[in-house]
C-alpha cells in the first residue's frame, strides 16, 4: 500500500512538472497557474483523487490555450468548456466560497466568441469579487442571443474604485482583442449596477 502511494505521488509530481513546462508555451494567466499548481501539490498528500482532477482540468485549459493560438474565434459552447475547467480548478481551492450562476440562451451556443474572453471575465469576477471576501460570494453570468449578436453580462460582489477609471490587465486585454476583431461593433463596459454589485457587460456582433 505504501509503495503504491509513493508511486502515485511520483506520477502526480511528474504530471505537475509537465504542466509547468507546458505553461511556458501557454496563454493561461501566470498567477492563476501558479496558484493552481500549488493547490495540486498540496492535494497530492491530502486527496489524490482531487489532485488528479486538478491536473485533468489544468490540462484542459492548456489544450484550449494552445488551440486558441490558431483561431480567432470559437463556438460559445467550446468557450464554456474552458470556463467550466477554470471554475473546477478554483473550486478545488475555495470550495463553497465560490458559487456560480449560469443563465445561457441555448440559441447562443453556436455563436462565435474570441477564445478565453469569457474565461477572462469570469476570472476577473473571481479575483475582485470572491477572493477578497472571507465568506466568498456568487458570480452570475447571463448570455443572450440577439438577431445581430450576443449579449454577455458577468456580475460579482464588490465596488469599483471611485474617482478613477477601472483598470485591469485581463479586461484590457479582452477589450483590445474585441477591438481588433470587431472594431467599434463590439463593446465591453464595467458598471456599478448596485451599491455592492459590479457587472461587466459585453456585446459581440455576429456576421
CATH code at 172?
3.30.565.10
What pLDDT, on the 0 to 100 scale, is given for residue 205? 97
Confidence of residue 45 (pLDDT cuts 50, 70, 90): confident
Q: Same domain for 187 and 122?
A: yes
Q: Same domain for 65 and 102?
A: no
What pLDDT, on the 0 to 100 scale, is given for residue 40? 82
Q: Same domain for 47 and 102?
A: no
**Residue bearing the bigger pLDDT, 75 or 162:** 75
Domains: count for the chain: 2
What pLDDT, on the 0 to 100 scale, is given for residue 173? 79
* Percent of the chain residues past pLDDT 90, beyond the cut: 32
pTM for the structure as a whole: 0.77
In a domain, 162, yes or no: yes
Q: What residue numbers bound the domain in which 41 lies?
A: 1-70
Q: Same domain for 184 and 130?
A: yes
Confidence of residue 24 (pLDDT cuts 50, 70, 90): very low
Task: Evaluate if residue 195 carries a pLDDT over 50.
Answer: yes
Q: What does DSSP say about strands 187-194 and 197-205: parallel, antiparallel, or unpaired?
A: antiparallel
Q: Same domain for 112 and 190?
A: yes
Confidence of residue 151 (pLDDT cuts 50, 70, 90): very high
What pLDDT, on the 0 to 100 scale, is given for residue 32? 65
Q: Same domain for 11 and 50?
A: yes
Among the three residues 10, 35, 70, which one is the final residue of a domain in this structure? 70
In a domain, 175, yes or no: yes
Confidence of residue 25 (pLDDT cuts 50, 70, 90): very low
What pLDDT, on the 0 to 100 scale, is given for residue 198? 93
Q: In the Cβ-directed half-sphere of 14, how many Cα atoms lie within 13 Å?
A: 6
In a domain, 132, yes or no: yes
- What is the DSSP secondary-structure string of 14-71? HHHHHHHHHHTTS-S-HHHHHHHHHHHHHHHHH-HHHHHHHHHHHHHHHHHHHHHTT-
Task: Evaluate if residue 18 carries a pLDDT over 70.
Answer: no
Average pLDDT over the chain reads 83
Q: Same domain for 66 and 115?
A: no
Among the three residues 55, 70, 85, which one is the final residue of a domain in this structure? 70
Q: What would the pLDDT profile of 53-91 be if each residue is shown by its tens digit?
A: 888 888 888 777 777 667 788 999 999 998 998 888 888
Q: Same domain for 61 and 152?
A: no
Residue 143 CB contacts under 8 Å (≥ 6 apart), including other chains: 76, 103, 104, 105, 108, 150, 151, 152, 153
Amino acid at each position: 500500500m505504501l509503495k503504491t502511494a509513493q508511486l502515485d505521488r511520483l506520477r502526480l509530481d511528474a504530471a505537475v512538472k509537465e504542466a509547468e513546462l507546458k505553461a511556458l508555451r501557454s496563454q493561461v494567466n501566470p498567477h492563476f497557474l501558479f496558484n493552481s499548481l500549488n493547490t495540486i501539490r498540496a492535494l497530492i498528500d491530502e486527496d489524490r483523487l482531487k489532485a488528479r482532477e486538478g491536473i485533468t482540468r489544468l490540462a484542459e485549459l492548456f489544450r484550449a490555450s494552445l488551440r486558441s493560438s490558431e483561431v480567432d474565434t470559437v463556438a460559445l459552447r467550446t468557450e464554456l468548456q474552458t470556463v467550466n475547467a477554470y471554475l473546477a480548478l478554483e473550486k478545488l481551492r475555495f470550495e463553497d466560497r465560490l458559487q456560480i450562476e449560469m443563465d445561457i440562451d441555448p440559441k447562443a451556443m453556436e455563436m462565435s466568441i474570441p477564445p478565453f474572453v469569457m474565461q477572462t471575465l469570469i476570472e476577473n469576477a473571481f479575483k475582485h469579487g470572491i477572493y477578497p471576501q472571507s465568506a466568498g460570494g456568487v458570480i452570475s453570468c447571463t448570455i443572450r442571443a440577439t438577431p445581430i449578436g450576443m449579449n454577455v453580462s458577468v456580475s460579482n460582489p464588490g465596488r469599483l474604485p471611485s474617482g478613477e477609471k477601472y483598470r485591469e490587465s485581463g479586461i484590457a486585454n479582452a477589450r483590445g482583442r474585441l477591438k481588433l476583431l470587431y472594431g467599434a461593433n463590439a463593446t465591453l463596459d464595467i458598471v456599478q449596477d448596485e451599491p455592492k454589485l459590479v457587472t461587466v457587460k459585453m456585446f459581440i456582433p455576429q456576421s
